[in-house]
Structure 1
């Protein structure tokens, strides 16, 4: 009896070991070097300034991933359902204005006041006054699709600058944005890029490539530079708007790191007042995850485990502001992480509205 139990146990161990070592996974991790996480010190010293957020109910909707102020003085929020919700500064008079049947991650307005959105499932879209959806671009070239449209900003001439987070993992193919992002960041193949859409010609060009999950994007005050968050490498880049297919790792003067070795995963970037740029940190870094940077095989093994077992960091609310020289000018934190996944912040009407990937409300605080 004991011998049979030993044989069965040995067989189970071999099966599990074989699964962890050999079962196919979609990602092919590559080795990279992660700097030691700085932790919460200096300008990021722990505080409670984001704790006790005031909440705006949003009914059955959830996941206000991005919030933007429109030219009509109304606010617009992108929900997980694909809905775009319009509301007053105090959260009142909520109205759904459109549903893209995808997942909008970024909202902006062109010089004519038209709403332009980045939909991770569908590409770059325009939303008409009656809620009609027009696809502006879902490919760079016929054989080069935009797989993960994420964030966008619009220049004074109407050019739309868009982050395409990954050319490897599409949220449409993998079921949702979070799953696709985890695969890309675990792989670290650096296929994220920044695109520019010309509304006059309808053409798309590659501004820069080689980013590990390109994410939030914002324009400099003079319109000559883009600030781009690179989620997978914990940093923010400064990239020239007139760059063409620049590899950020090439040492080009048109692409340089402005903020490096951040304490968390940087997400949305928005412009505030007095030259500020607001950035949300989705979650703090996990030293265990950083320690696996040189070991692609181990990361591949981890991808065979349930997602909840991945070392993705604990909940921790954090948004901060910096100026165009990279100086940190504000840091707002909630160590308890009561408002989940703080992806960004929108400063307007004397308030700071907090973005979230999964929250069932819109959080805000007075400034």
Structure 2
């Protein structure tokens, strides 16, 4: 859709200005015109790898650095007649109870200025993705940060490779994807689990985004489930032994062009999967967000993949059949 971006885009959200904002692996945030695909650099954090992104009601952009572990805020400047310079991100969260955050993944912000942040693991980092999948350390966090009084609280501390987070349509909870558990769960704003809205998924869930259509969400799958890993689910010792296999024979993520649509109904959540057609060399998908009948999708930067692409499904009615 766009000309090549300078880095792999990941987290997506729409601003009040109608532009689509994307966090890049190069530490930049860009604003994209959804009609033309033209983009401008909005913000930057040197040496960061930005992933999750969410925009507050006042236009502040929040982004997570999955390598450095911090959450950054980009407060927009007042408009001027001079070409704007990229905004420097301000670090607003980097530790919890004195312990540094290390594999921070995604963020969602409420209209009243409360942030919900996920970390995939507090025992592993991004470079140890393979080890985390096998070992199931169960150390992912769901964190709540109140921007008004700057209070921070861990709402959940034993999640399985926590990934995407999105506000629910009713505004009373968040939906959280746990990659290693193949599920999406609903948590109240005080951290209580209110149930699983999707479970036993056919792959490792990535990011989840709320659609502008009431009751609808889109979830990506980073890779299909691995039969060997599943068969060893009840044998943690054998799974740990797989960690020591030579890299050439380790189970590897496989490109998976599959999206999950979640739709709230009177009887529960309707879960539907769709295979996406794209370029032959298209990697797995990371984030999908829907606006005005169009679906914008970013590639997943797994295994060192760097793709400055943004994919588009121009009419979501085409996949409703």
TM-score interval for Structure 1 and Structure 2 normalised by the shorter chain: 0.7 to 0.9
Shift of 1:337: 6.7
C-alpha deviation, 1:342, in angstroms: 0.7
Q: Whose RCO is larger (CA < 8 A, sep 6+)? A: 1
Could you say which residue in structure 1 is the equivalent of 2:40? 95
Deviations along 1:214-236, one digit per CA (max 9) or x if unpaired, are 11111112221111000011011
The question of whether the paired residues in 1 share the 8 Å contact of 2:13 and 2:289 is answered with yes
- 2:141 equivalent to 1:193: yes
1:255-306 deviations in whole A, cap 9, x for unaligned? 4222111000001000111321100000111112211223333333332334
Q: Mark the CA change 1:328 to 1:238 in structure 2 (over 3 Å): closer, same or farther.
A: same
Q: Answer yes or no: is the 8 Å Cα contact 1:316–1:334 preserved in 2.
A: no
Distance verdict in 2 for CA 1:80–1:336, change over 3 Å = same
Which protein is richer in helix relative to its size?
Answer: 1
Q: Could you tell me how far apart the structure 2 residues matched to 1:156 and 1:74 are?
A: 18
Residue in 2 aligned with 1:159? 114
Q: How many residues align?
A: 295
Higher strand share: 2
1:239 to 187, 197, 218: 187
1:263 aligns with 202
TM-superposition CA deviations, 1:123-154 (whole Å, max 9, x none): 11101335121111111222x22222111111
Normalised to the residue count of structure 1, the TM-score between the two structures is: 0.75
* Structure 1 position 66, deviation (Å): 1.8
Aligned ranges 1:104-115 → 2 under 5 Å: 104-115=50-61
**What is the CA–CA distance in structure 2 between the aligned matches of 1:292 and 1:334, rounded to whole Å?**
32
Residues 224 and 72 of structure 1, relative CA distance in 2, 3 Å threshold: same
SS at match of 1:299: helix
SS in 2 for 1:301: helix
Q: Which digits, 9 at most, give the CA deviation of each residue in 1:32-54, with x for residues without a partner? A: xxxxxxxxxxxxxxxxxxxxxxx
- Larger Rg belongs to: 1
1:74 corresponding residue in structure 2: 19
Q: Say which SS state the counterpart of residue 56 (structure 1) adopts.
A: coil
Q: Distance in 1 between matches of 2:280 and 2:209?
A: 21
Over 3 Å counting, the alpha-carbon distance change for 1:196 and 1:114 in structure 2 is: same
Query: Counterpart in 2 of 1:363?
Result: 311
TM-score (norm 2): 0.85
Gaps of 5+ in 2: 77-85, 302-306, 316-321
Indicate yes or no: 2:30 matched with 1:85.
yes
1:64 offset after TM fit, Å? 1.5
The answer to whether the Cα contact below 8 Å between 1:63 and 1:80 also exists between their aligned partners in 2 is: yes
Asked whether 1:183 is paired with 2:131, we answer yes
CA RMSD of aligned residues (A): 2.1
